[in-house]
Each structure stands twice: as structure tokens, then as C-alpha cells.
Amino acid sequence: MKDFGLDDVWRLKNPTKRDYTFFSAVHKTFSRIDFFLLNNSIAHKVTTKIHPIIISDHAPISLSLQTDSIPKPPQTWRLNISLLKDPEFDRVIRSEWADFLKNNDSVDLSPSLLWETGKAVIRGKIISYSSYKKKKDLQTEKEIEEKIKQLTENYAINPSDQLWSELQNAKLNLDNILSKKTEFLLQQLRYNDFEHNNKSGKFLANQLQRNKEKSFITAIQDPSGKYTQSPQEINQIFYNYYQSLYSAAANPNMEDIHNFLNNLNMPKLTSNYRDILDAPLTMKELQCALDSMPAGKAPGPDGFPAEFLKHFWSMLAPLFFRTVTEIKNNGYISPHMNTAAIKLLLKPDKDPTLPSSYRPLSLINTDIKIISKALASRLEKIIPSIIHSDQTGFINGRHSTNNIRRLLNLISLTQRHNKEAIVMSLDAEKAFDKVNWSFLFAVLHKFGFGESFIQWVSALYNSPKATVTTNGITSQSFSLQRGTRQGCPLSPLLFAIFIEPLATAVRQNTDIKGICALESEHKINLYADDILLYLQEPKTSVKEVINLITTFSCLSDYSINWSKSIILPLTDNSWNPAVQNSHYSFPTGNIRYLGINISSKLSELVHLNFTPLLDKVCDDLRRWNNLPISLLGRIATVKMKILPKINYLFSMIPFKPTSKWFQSLDSAIGKFYSKNKKAKISLTTLQKNKSEGGLEAPNFMYYYLSNQIQYLTKWIHPHEEYNSWLELEQLDCNQIKISDLPCITSALKHHSCFKNPMIASTLSAWWKALEITGSQLKPSILSPIWHNPDFANNKIALYFSTWAERGVTHLHHLLDDNTFRTYINLFQTFEIRNGNFLQYLQVKKTITSRIPSLQTTLQPTD
């Protein structure tokens, strides 16, 4: 130790004192084997202490370091929710609230003012109660610690069974007190499930995190590029940054906004929907909004989390409902109530010294979130009727998988027909933070929203304020003049409404040429602010896109970072902006959309996405291998941390990873389960159901197959949400209906539909699943008759248009009680005119030759 300049700091501070950090219950001996080693140059700045041996056979040791930094700023108050379990606390708060209303409530007093005052009074009472309880608990804790210390010393000198029993009882009492303190600390750290370390919970997740979300910012650059490490200066830089970001740019001309919107053909809310949105908020809606809020979330500036309002809802609801009614009538929310605290989260792979690298999370007061959530619950049921299916972000019933499926189908279609086309990925600059409110309200009117709902939105956005917190320092408040707050339940829906005119303008602009397929033209996909454009005649289309977005930006404050927007040519003859000296950057092989690396060569998707994920998974498993986690905990780890990432790729990318990829994944996970030792239980056994002696460990091949098979249900049960890609896949099926594909055997491999890689992957997964389950795909009553390669004569499939037009399309139409209909029965039942007996014989012979016994083989495959 001396060679490295290290010293045992406790011995330096206590050269002659004797104390112990370890007790051996087996040998009944004490020793000191736990200590801090420090560089002796800073030993004078520290103090150290050995605490009583309480929980384990080791004593806790602590070290305090005195630094020359500024004093720690005061912490923002937030409720210790463990108090809600204290019956005395419940009684005190209810009594205090009743007294407050009795002494202050009157018809002349504003409910909003009374509500805000009441929160302040209750907050003060909670602080007072907590302080009293903390002092009392500390005193009890000190007394027990002193007793433990004395008993330990006595036992070390003169051990006896009585002293041992007293010592264990004292430790048990102290352990109960410390457990309550630990519960609060875990709540502060959001480790609410700390007792479930073998289950998929937050405690296990935090054990596995290599880089926890760090809120401490060590250094930041000011606008001139100068670095500072001063906590006050860092906070001031962020204050200036967000004050500028949320300040409105030059107000757009309202006449220009109306002219832009009036040129767009946009849907209107029905009168029924408008009445639903305009109806007064009810007590039931407010309670449902509160009940839907998850526990463990950080509260807003007032410090009251959702748990507090849930616990005391019956007590608080009457005044809160009056407050909501007053806000609606006046169209105004008090600044204290409508102030948010901005917390910062560093974005992945961003420079931590740049203010723009942080994502602002707005912590909004729970009472405001209740109102916003209630309004959002109404709006989310209605918004699909006015927002085009091109937008899938935050719209109920719509999924990002449709965006990727559509993109891949368009790439495949373009390349098979050698069309000159590009995909353009737009990079929006702070899209949610730059929403111009004047433009937003104009769009709400354009969609036909009623005045009552618009008044609610106006109240929420009329006088909002925010503070920004960095390194424990909270700035002064500043006004928000634009943007939708990330953290507000209404925010994503309002943004979808705000951006829809741009998408509509793209669709309706005839100078912007999309990729055509039959009678459809595909131009745009959106997931919130992530936009993809599909363009033919790209040289002129891109120019028109620039002009359109420039106009839209002047009206809405929405802006695109053109230097980061990427063009992906889909074919070799597509427009190359790099060659033609365009100011657009030419992609280096792929674009990244919704977390998926996309290449113009679909064959590269597996390597671009699954290979790096496997490397990351193997790296994580190696790091976690030495953690003290049981086999059950390790399976939970894989389910919680590995499975979602892999399952996301399975759901997005239809192409199957190689067998070697699956083998490598299973090998790495198997080693993790067995802690790099010889496995006592095979991976196959672990993957079985518990009823079969397994532990239900994930079988990743099955997850891949199930993700692909889900598209069968979308083929069979089409929905408007799927139309954008479903019609593209139907186009490749020619005369066969895509909904009939699951009922046709692998003879489909020779059909033109199999040239579509998405269809091929889905069908291959379906056939593999049937093979695994021991099922056999064979003709059934659901099998199509026409164009079915299973029913072909000399490789020519059956098709008689007269029959098909009269509704004879599937095998069950030819049967009567599982018996082939007679010629007369068939033609009379379906009123087939000009029936041809030779056609009947041909159909009957072809089908019966493929099916030995109709009676036993024409039931649908399970």
C-alpha cells in the first residue's frame, strides 16, 4: 500500500483505538477487516467511522470528504409516499384539510385560489409532521445503536447467552427502523420493487444498468463555445437556452395561415364528436384520469405525486372539481398551478457539453396532468377520424410496424420495376418544442373543433411557466410561448394535429410525385415528427418539398435540419444528389428510421440490424454474469432486458436471421443461465412450460415465428390501418386474394407472390410453425378454388369467371354436408347461368383427385 501512497484512513485517525468490523458467529471472535484506502495527501479532508454490527456479520463503515465546493443547494420538496401507510399521518392530514375548508371556504373565494392555498397549507403540515417523525425516529435509532454498541462491547469482554439474546433483539428493532428508511430511499431512487430481485422489476433493471441516467452535468458550453464547470453558470446557460427555445419567433401573419389552411382539403369533426369533446368534464372522468396514472413517477413543482391525490381523493375531489369548473369558465390557470419543472436527460450518443444534447422532461403538477389526461382520453378516441393513416405515432390502434412494412414493400416494388425513386428522411429540429400556438389553434378550428375544447387547450397553453433544474439548482421561472410540453398527456395528440396540414399539403401537391402502385400514390409516412417521403421524379419533387416546408416553417415555426436529412436512392438509376452538387448529404448505405437501419438492398437488413444487436447482447450478458442473481433471476433478466430488444427487431424486420445467429444467441444465453459453468439443465428444458418441468425461458425462434405469423391475421382481417402496405402485397398476389394465402400449401413457392420478400418470409414462418407443432397444411373448406396452385391441371390453375361472379370461391361452396354438390344442386343454389357440365366435371375431378376423402379431410387446419 505504501508503494502506491495509500493508507488505512481509520488507523491514521485512530492510532491507538481498538474497534472491529467483523464478528464470526462460528468462532465468536471479532476482527477489523473492512477499511478505506486513501491517498495520504487527502487524508486530512476526511473523517471515518465504524458503525455497529447490525444486519450482517460485517459492520458498516462510512467516510466523509470535505471539499472546497459551494454549499449544496436546497432540495425541492416532494412527498415521502411511505407516509401514506401511516394511520396517524392520514388522520392528521384529513383533520387539517377539514379545518382549512371550515375556516376559509366561502362563496366569494375563488376555488382555484383556495385549492392552491390548501396545497400550501397541507405541504407545510406534511413538512412539520415529517420533521417531528424524523427527529423521533432518529432519537430512537441512536438509542438502539448505543444499546447495541454497549451490548457488543460487553459481549466481547464477557460473552453469555443472555447478552447474545439482548443483542439480537436490539438489532431486530433497529433493522425495522432502517427498513423504513431504506424503503424511502429506494422510492427516491425509483427502486420500488427491491424485494423482487428474481422477477422482472425495477430493482433488477437497475442492477443491470451499466450507465444509469445521470442527472449531474459536469461541464457545459455557452453559446460562444466557452466551457464552464460552475453549477450556477451551468444552470444559467440552460436557463438562457430554454428561455430562447420556448420564446415565440416572429408571429406569423394570421391571414397567411388561413390562406394556407383554406387551400387544403382536410376532414372535419362530426357534430357528435364535437359535442363529446365540448361536454363539461365530469368527476368520473377526472377520477379515471387520476387512476390511470402509474405509481412511482416524479411529481411536479408542488411535490404532490399521483399517489397522494389517489389516497385522499374523496377528501380533495369536491374542491378540485370546483377548481376545474372555474378554470373552464375563466379560461385561465394560475401560474403556480401551471408551472412545470424541466429535468434534463442526455440523449444517447450525444455530446454532454452541448445544451441541445439533452431531452427536456417537463414534470407537471399532478392536478394539471389530471385535466390534460381527461381531455386526452376523449381526444384519443376521436383523433383517428381526422388524422390520416399515414401518421401512426401516438394514435390508438396504429403501429409503427406498418410504417416499416410499407417502406420495405415500396423498396421491393421499386427495384423489381426499376423505377427512379428515392426515400427522403427528414430531420426535424426540436419539433415538439417549436409548435407555434397561433398556428395550432388555427388548425384546431380548421378541423372543426368546438370552442369549448379549444378554450381548454388555450387555458393550458395561455400562461404556462417552467423552471430548469441542473445539479440540484433550480432556475427562476420563465414563460413558455410555444411548444408542446413533453410530459403532458395531451402533447403528442396536439402535435399530431399540428403536423397534419404539412402531411396533407404533401399528399395534395401534384408537383410532388410519389411512388405509384395501381391507383394509389405513396408519398409520406409519419411517426410523430419522424417523416419519410417516397418520391419519384426526385429532382423536381425534392425542390417542391423544400418550397413547401419553407412555407410551412414560416407559418408554424416547424423547421428541418437539411444538413442531417438524408436521401436514399432506391435504384442505380435514381437521382444522386451528391453527384449533382446538391446540398443534401448522400447516405452511406442506409438510413435509420424508427430504430431500424434501412438499406436499399433488402438483403442487407439482417446484417445491418441483427448482427450489432447480437454483439451488444453478448457484451451485456458477459457484464451481468458475475452479478449475484439466481437462475430465476437470470431468466427474468433475459425476459426484461434482452427479449424486448430482439422482439422489436422481429416485429419490424420480416427477414429471418441466419441459423448461426440463433445458435450464437442461444449459446450466449445458455452460458449466462449456467454462470459460464457446465449446464445442469439444458436450454431446451428451461424453455418448456412450468407444467412440463421447464421455467418458461424465452425461445427466440418461436418469438420470431409468432411475430411473422401476426401478419396472417392482418391479411385475413384487413383494416384501414394496414391498407398502405396491404394493397402493395395484394398487387404481387395477382388473382389470388391475399387472405387466401394461409390456406394454400407450399406450392405457392412457385407463384409470383413469392417474389415479394415480405410475403415469402411470412408464409415461410407459417409453414415452419405448422411443422414445429406437427400440423399439416392441406386443403380445407376454407381453401380457395380459383388460381390455387394446389388445384391445377397441367400446371394451370382452375378459374371460371361465371362461377366466381356468382359467389363460388372456396371449397365449402362446393360442398353440402361435406359431400360434393351435384351439378343441378350447385347451379341452382348459386344461380349460375349458362352452366357448363364439362366445367363441373373438371372442377370435381381436379379437387377430388387432390383429396382422397372429402368426409375426413376438409376440416380447417387447427
Average pLDDT of the residues in 368-384: 97
Q: Select the more confidently predicted residue: 683 or 72.
A: 683
- Model confidence pLDDT, tens digit, residues 291-325: 999 988 889 999 999 999 999 999 999 999 999 99
Q: Select the more confidently predicted residue: 2 or 544.
A: 544
Distances (CA, A) of 404 to 407, 851, 861: 5, 40, 30
Q: What is the pLDDT of residue 418?
A: 87
Average pLDDT of the residues in 532-546: 92
Name the residue range of residue 122's domain: 81-188
Residues 524 and 631 in one domain: no
Domain boundary residue, one of 480, 504, 539? 480
Cα dihedral 323, 275, 369, 390, rounded to 10, equals -160
Q: How many CB atoms lie within 10 A of CB 61?
A: 17
Domain membership flag for residue 712: no
Domain boundary residue, one of 599, 632, 647? 599
Check: CB of residue 609 under 8 Å from CB of residue 596. yes
Distance from C-alpha of 692 to C-alpha of 1, rounded to nearest angstrom? 56
Q: Does 862 score more than 90 pLDDT?
A: no
End-to-end Cα separation, the chain, in angstroms: 72
Q: What is the pLDDT of residue 635?
A: 95
Q: What is the pLDDT of residue 14?
A: 82
Q: What is the pLDDT of residue 5?
A: 60
Residues 227 and 352 in one domain: yes
Percent with pLDDT over 90 in the chain = 59
Here the cell at position 769 is 410453425
Residues 53 and 152 in one domain: no
Domain boundary residue, one of 683, 698, 713? 698
Residues 544 and 574 in one domain: yes
Q: Which residue has the cell 428561455?
A: 243
pLDDT band per the 50, 70, 90 thresholds, residue 88: very high
Residues 86 and 164 in one domain: yes
Domain membership flag for residue 204: no
Q: Does 145 score more than 90 pLDDT?
A: no
Distance from C-alpha of 789 to C-alpha of 729, rounded to nearest angstrom? 18
Q: Is 706 helix (H, G, I), strand (E, B) or coil?
A: helix
Q: Which of 766, 140, 239 is nearest to 474 (CA)?
A: 239
pLDDT band per the 50, 70, 90 thresholds, residue 99: very high
Residues 508 and 413 in one domain: yes
Percent with pLDDT over 70 in the chain = 90
The pairing of strands 465-470 and 339-346 is: parallel
Average pLDDT of the residues in 265-270: 96
Distance from C-alpha of 251 to C-alpha of 718, rounded to nearest angstrom? 45
Report the CATH number at residue 582.
Answer: 3.30.70
pLDDT band per the 50, 70, 90 thresholds, residue 546: very high
Residues 328 and 447 in one domain: yes
Here the cell at position 253 is 401573419
Check: CB of residue 148 under 8 Å from CB of residue 178. no
Cα dihedral 154, 160, 164, 166, rounded to 10, equals -80
Q: What is the pLDDT of residue 319?
A: 97
pLDDT band per the 50, 70, 90 thresholds, residue 194: very low
Count up the domains in the chain and report the number.
6
Taking the CA atoms of 360, 366, 371 and 376 in sequence, report the sign of the dihedral they define: positive
Query: Can you say how many angstroms the Cα of residue 463 is from the centroid of all Cα atoms in its chain?
Result: 29
Q: Does 272 score more than 50 pLDDT?
A: yes
Check: CB of residue 408 under 8 Å from CB of residue 602. yes
Residues 376 and 525 in one domain: no
pLDDT band per the 50, 70, 90 thresholds, residue 739: very high
Residues 617 and 551 in one domain: no
Residues 465 and 541 in one domain: no
Domain membership flag for residue 376: yes
- Model confidence pLDDT, tens digit, residues 465-510: 999 999 889 999 999 999 998 889 999 999 999 999 999 999 999 9
Domain membership flag for residue 772: no
Check: CB of residue 651 under 8 Å from CB of residue 399. no
Q: Is 517 helix (H, G, I), strand (E, B) or coil?
A: strand
Least confident of 174-188, 440-454, 500-514, 769-783: 174-188
Average pLDDT, the chain: 88
Check: CB of residue 665 under 8 Å from CB of residue 614. yes
Residues 103 and 20 in one domain: no
Q: What is the pLDDT of residue 589?
A: 60
Least confident of 2-16, 38-52, 385-399, 458-472: 2-16
Average pLDDT of the residues in 742-759: 92
Q: What is the pLDDT of residue 72?
A: 61
pTM: 0.83
Paired strand residues for 6: 39
Residues 504 and 473 in one domain: no
For the chain, the C-alpha Rg in angstroms (whole number) is 34
Average pLDDT of the residues in 336-358: 90
Domain membership flag for residue 198: no
